[in-house]
Structure 1
């Protein structure tokens, strides 16, 4: 089946089915590319700006420098 034949069928899917299809395609493409996928029931650390006081101070200094130059 070609993409031109497939697209009209995809457009008739419900929102939930479109999301399932998208999920399937992302996993399939990641596997083809050898990209490791996130494992279920696993915690992954992420950075958050919450309580990042040093970053806030650096940004404030940059803004003040930019304001003084302008």
Structure 2
């Protein structure tokens, strides 16, 4: 399928699906070039930001600090 036919369908994707597509395309390009990103060695392809408990903890801390900090 030519790219000109894909573009209208890609524009209809949700934000998260666009991110997943971007991740997929980058992984495919890296695989075709023989490169492997350092941070993905030994990890499964299903891991993503939604699985990051560390990121959730950092975000929760930042939100809690935001509530305490005076605005002015």
CA shift, 1:23, in A, is 0.3
CA radius of gyration, larger in:
1
Query: How high is the TM-score relative to the length of structure 2?
Result: 0.53
Q: In structure 2, what is the Cα distance between the partners aligned to 1:36 and 1:22?
A: 16
Q: In structure 2, what is the Cα distance between the partners aligned to 1:9 and 1:24?
A: 16
Report the structure, 1 or 2, having the larger helix content.
Answer: 2
Structure with the larger RCO, 1 or 2 (CA within 8 Å, 6+ apart): 1
Which runs of 5 or more residues in structure 2 are unaligned? Answer: 45-72
Deviations 1:12-62 (A, max 9, x none): 000000000000000000000001122239xxxxxxxxxxxxxxxxxxxxx
Query: How high is the TM-score relative to the length of structure 1?
Result: 0.54
Which runs of 5 or more residues in structure 1 are unaligned? Answer: 42-70
- Specify the alignment match of 1:33 in structure 2: 33
Aligned-pair Cα RMSD in Å: 1.5
Aligned pair count reads 41
